[in-house]
Amino acid sequence: MKHLKIEPLTKDSFAPFGDVIEVEDSDYFMINNGSTRRYHQLAQTDVAQQGGQAIISIFQATPLVYPLMITMLERHPLGSQAFVPLLGNPYLVVVAPIGDSPDSAQIRVFYATGKQGVNYHKGVWHHPVLALTDQDRFLVVDRAGEGQNCDEYFFNDQQMMLSLETLPEAILQLC
């Protein structure tokens, strides 16, 4: 049994998998006659392959039961996929590098604050949304169009457990 370690979500640690969407330490410029900061181009959508187009959706998610056995990951080979929390609640992000199949030895788990979104790069393996609070909501920017854009991989005999015990106490209190 492999126990997955949870680490904080930072731009540097998440860079191999995508972008962290947040205003902390991000450049901005003023617009609207000086009343608004524009944090410009925090992530790029990559959805044009095979005539795809960017769409915006809202996902409403319920927490899974922890400790959680990670039995599968998915990827979107034709487009990026961004998740931005709408209610300010922390959530978890499970990823593995781009490849023909996910390498269980390279799986990483991040906890995201309610002020951080993520943009998975095209082809990055990831677990479906992992809300930590009931009826959480995420704005999702991803791809619509022709072509198969969701591959799922199920781990056969590998057991990977994700426990909330390693989360910082401040995050646990919000869950």
What is the rounded average pLDDT of the residues 106-127?
Answer: 97
- pLDDT top residue among 167 and 59: 59
pLDDT in tens, 14-61: 999 999 999 999 999 999 999 999 999 999 999 999 999 999 999 999
Looking at the predicted structure, is the pLDDT value of residue 125 above 80?
Answer: yes
Q: Quickly state the pLDDT bin for 167 (edges 50, 70, 90).
A: confident
- pLDDT top residue among 162 and 140: 140
Q: What is the pTM of this model?
A: 0.93
> Which is it for the CA torsion 63, 65, 66, 69, positive or negative?
negative
Looking at the predicted structure, is the pLDDT value of residue 164 above 90?
Answer: no
Bridge-partner residues for 7, per DSSP?
110
Let me know: does 16 contact 172? Beta carbons within 8 Å: no
